[in-house]
Chains A and B, each alone.
Chain A
Amino acid sequence: MARDDDTFKVWVADHGGLIARIASTYERRPALVEELVQDVLVAIWRAQPSFRGQSSVRTFVARIAHNVCVSHVRRADTVSLGPLDETIPDHGTGPELDVDARLKRDKLLAAIHALPVALRQTMSLHLEGFSGAEIGEALSVTENNVGVRLARARATLQQSFGGSRS
């Protein structure tokens, strides 16, 4: 597949949210999330010709996003697990997302940040609605392995949420 501006635009329109959410699980500060999203988009633009249609575009984009994030994240933001930056803007929802839901989402993001990389990747894709097979394809692991990772991630998240996930 050749590099094509229109296809790139469609990919961004369809999967922009996915890219931003994946980046937000690796970086805390909004400016760094933006920077990371930019790196991911550059990588997708460059990798576009290597897309052969063997997987879905969503899986292809998720795989590149994780690979770029996993190698580009800044050390200081990933090592410490302090409180989540409450100033993270949300361009997708606006006022309709009430305070309670926002707090829940921030708590969820903080808990995901606290997971080891592999569990974080698996859980974020699971929350995106990827099936076990799709997660396995995006992360190059077996479906069984995805199951194991998800079970561990759930257990850790449950601990983070103090035994209750609500």
Chain B
Amino acid sequence: MIEDQENELGAMWRASTPVDVTLIADRVRGLNRLHRRINQTSFVVSVVIALLIGLAELLGELPTGGVLFAAFTALIIAPLLHHRWAKKRLTAQWSSEPRAMLVFAADRARAGLRLARGLYAGVPIGIIVGYSGGAALGRLNGVTADQLPLWALLATALLVAITSVAGVRMARRRSEDIKHFEARIRSMDYAV
């Protein structure tokens, strides 16, 4: 009897399609293509800029002796490698065990929370410590720093305000994520 009812429910369940997946798949394919083109264009633009910097250094137009070229190249390659590594890791997690996926997601949220704390607390503290340290070091060497111009003060205040607001918002979201993932892990553990 129960089996009959379950078969009936199963048939009813399988007969429904809550959203039109084919349309969404077309959109996903379009977005993938667009994403790939944007990535390729950004990469080409970055390579051209790196080559121009290298050429300028080679011709002596830039007196940086190859340092700028090396720094710029590293700034392109390092995030690219990190992005590829992170994407590969995430992809591997998607096809792994659901609980491990949640633990992985919670760890990522914790890393995000640390970054957010760095933004709203680390940046202002870093600026204050850096400025005070520099001034103290100058006084020790008998150099008196000039009064900072108003525009520099305003720019610093704006930077601190932006990073603090972004950091606080990000921290709130990541904290919610951590709670959410932990609740889901508990829910899975409870049912096992």
A: residues with CB less than 8 A from B are 5, 8-9, 12-13, 16-17, 19-21, 23-24, 30, 33-34, 37-38, 41-43, 45-47, 50-51, 60, 63-64, 66-68, 70-71, 75, 88-93, 97, 101, 104-105, 108, 116-119, 121, 124, 126-129, 139-141, 145, 148-149, 152, 154, 165-166
A46 near B91 (CB under 8 angstroms)?
yes
Partner of A145, one of B20, B190, B192: B192
The stretch of B11-19, B58-66, B121-129, B148-156 in contact with A is B11-19
Residue of B nearest to A108 (CB): B9
Select the residue from B18, B87, B94, B188 with max chain A CB neighbours within 10 A. Answer: B18
A140 to B21, CA, bound (A): 26
User: In the complex, what residues of A have CB within 8 A of residue B17's CB?
Assistant: 16-17, 20-21, 90-93
B: residues with CB less than 8 A from A are 2, 5-6, 9-10, 12-22, 24-25, 27-29, 31-32, 87, 91-102, 105, 176, 180-181, 184, 187-188, 190-192
Shortest CB–CB separation between residue A139 and chain B, in angstroms? 6
User: In the complex, what residues of A have CB within 8 A of residue B32's CB?
Assistant: 42, 45
Q: How many A-B residue pairs have CB under 8 A?
A: 162
Partner of B13, one of A50, A108, A121, A140: A108
Select the residue from B22, B24, B96 with max chain A CB neighbours within 10 A. Answer: B24
User: In the complex, what residues of B have CB within 8 A of residue A9's CB?
Assistant: 25
Return 23 A-B CB contacts under 8 Å, by A number.
A12-B22, A12-B25, A16-B21, A17-B21, A20-B19, A30-B18, A38-B24, A45-B32, A50-B91, A51-B95, A63-B98, A67-B101, A68-B94, A70-B101, A90-B17, A92-B15, A92-B17, A116-B191, A119-B191, A127-B9, A127-B14, A129-B10, A152-B191
User: In the complex, what residues of B have CB within 8 A of residue A66's CB?
Assistant: 98
Shortest CB–CB separation between residue B34 and chain A, in angstroms? 13
B18 near A38 (CB under 8 angstroms)?
no
A140 to B98, CA, bound (A): 7
Q: Tell me whether chain B's interface is mostly helix, strand or loop, or mixed.
A: helix
Shortest CB–CB separation between residue B189 and chain A, in angstroms? 8
6 extra A-B contacts, CB within 8 A, seeds A68-B94, A71-B181, A90-B17:
A17-B21, A34-B24, A45-B32, A93-B15, A101-B12, A149-B191
Residue of B nearest to A165 (CB): B5
A165 near B184 (CB under 8 angstroms)?
no
Minimum-distance CB pairs A-B, first 9: A92-B17, A16-B21, A118-B191, A140-B97, A24-B18, A127-B13, A71-B105, A12-B25, A67-B101
User: In the complex, what residues of B have CB within 8 A of residue A108's CB?
Assistant: 9, 12-13
User: In the complex, what residues of B have CB within 8 A of residue A89's CB?
Assistant: 18-19
